[in-house]
Structure formats: structure tokens, C-alpha cells
A and B are shown apart, each in its own frame.
Chain A
Amino acid sequence: QKEVEQNSGPLSVPEGAIASLNCTYSDRGSQSFFWYRQYSGKSPELIMSIYSNGDKEDGRFTAQLNKASQYVSLLIRDSQPSDSATYLCAVSGGYQKVTFGTGTKLQVIP
């Protein structure tokens, strides 16, 4: 079992819809969770950090964390073609242990 799992996609959504990206992790001691966006040929860019159970909203993005079920998700409202990218989930288990998922490719169809 991979430590951080994401569906590789591609996840295709129409423009204006809500895109839902999911990530599960295996280390119950994980405490910090991050979502990165990576455009093709570019470097990962931090979108959201979340540290406690519940929802955290930032503009069109909402991160959701459920530590009991060991999953973290990212919702993108009013999806735009410019949101088309690969989204990486990263989970921190403490001492210099940050594990990245392999990413979900999102395609927003105009």
C-alpha cells in the first residue's frame, strides 16, 4: 500500500462545475497536509495547507480533512480551463517526513 494515494485520472469536468480531488494516506500520525498544483512542465505550486479536521476555504478552493478516515480532499468550485493541471497531495508525518502522492490530472472542458 502506498503511503499517499491519489487517483491518477484524468478527471474531466465541464467548465463551471465542481472538481473533487481525493487523497488517502496510511500514517495515522500525520499532522500536516498540503495540496500543490503542477502545470505541465512547471514546478509544484502550493495551493492550500490544512492541519485540523474540517474544511478550509480559500477563494474557489476548499480543502477538507478527515483524520479518522485518513483522507484529505480538494474541491475546486466554478472550475476554469486554467485549473487544468496535475494536483499533488502531500502529507507530513513529523520529522522531515513529507510524502507526495503521484497526483491527479484534472482536465476542465470549456
Chain B
Amino acid sequence: NAGVTQTPKFQVLKTGQSMTLQCAQDMNHNSMYWYRQDPGMGLRLIYYSASEGTTDKGEVPNGYNVSRLNKREFSLRLESAAPSQTSVYFCASSLSGTYSNQPQHFGDGTRLSIL
């Protein structure tokens, strides 16, 4: 009964380093999402994948790339980390395909600090 699993849970990087955040869901959901959450800013959508094989930019995509590896997995990559990318990152999934009329289910988050 895992739901949405994110790894790692915590990470500290130096400016300029790269890393990939992993996300996997076992609910056979079609859509997957990456958000960042900063104090006072709420959840902001970075990228989403409406279905396997498709990805689209969200509200704050700069500095990030994503890969929808298969229906279960959706990864987020920081190519050259910057201190402004210090945040809590959440992956979410939804049964919705094209139309987002179903709720999203969230992973536990990755707390990322960039020094």
C-alpha cells in the first residue's frame, strides 16, 4: 500500500551540482506531477505528465528537467543546482488523464538544500 514513493527524503547539494529526484506510484495513475513548496508561496507546479510519454511545463520549470520513464515513474532533474532551488519537492499522481478532474495523491516529499 505504498501509493507515491519519493527518494531521497533529504538531500544537501552544493551550488552547481546535479541530481535526480525519483518518484514512483503503484496506483496505476495516468498523470504525475512535480511541485515545489516554499514558505508563503504554496504549491507551485514545476512539470507534469498527463500520460505516459508526455511531459509539459508548469508554472516554474526553469532549471529543471523531467522524464516520464514509464507509467509508474516520473523523475525530476536539477542539472546545475542553485540556492534558489532550496525547497521541499513533492511528487503527486492522479487517475486523471487529459482533464484534471480527479484528486492528486502526494508522496512524502524531498527536502532539498542547496549551499
State the A residues within 8 Å of B (CB).
31-32, 34, 42-46, 49, 51, 88, 90, 92, 94-98, 100-103
Contacts and interface: CB of A to CB of B under 8 A. Distances in A.
A44 B43 contact: yes
Contacts of B45: 98
A34 B101 CA distance: 10
Nearest to B35: A100
B100 A46 contact: no
A49 B103 contact: yes
Nearest to B45: A98
B108 A98 contact: no
Nearest to B42: A102
Counting chain A CB atoms within 10 Å of each CB, the highest count among B42, B90, B99 belongs to B42
Nearest 6 CB-CB pairs, A to B?
Answer: A102-B42, A43-B106, A100-B43, A32-B101, A92-B100, A46-B103
Interface residues of B, number: 23
B62 to A, nearest CB: 19
Nearest to B48: A96
A50 to B, nearest CB: 11
A16 B106 CA distance: 29
A83 B3 CA distance: 23
Contact of B103 (A34, A102, A103): A34
B108 A88 contact: no
Nearest to B40: A102
A51 B98 contact: no
B24 to A, nearest CB: 15
5 contacts: A43-B107, A88-B42, A92-B100, A96-B56, A96-B100
Given A43-B108, A95-B98, 10 more contacts: A32-B102, A43-B90, A44-B43, A45-B106, A88-B43, A94-B99, A96-B31, A96-B56, A102-B41, A103-B42
A44 B99 contact: no
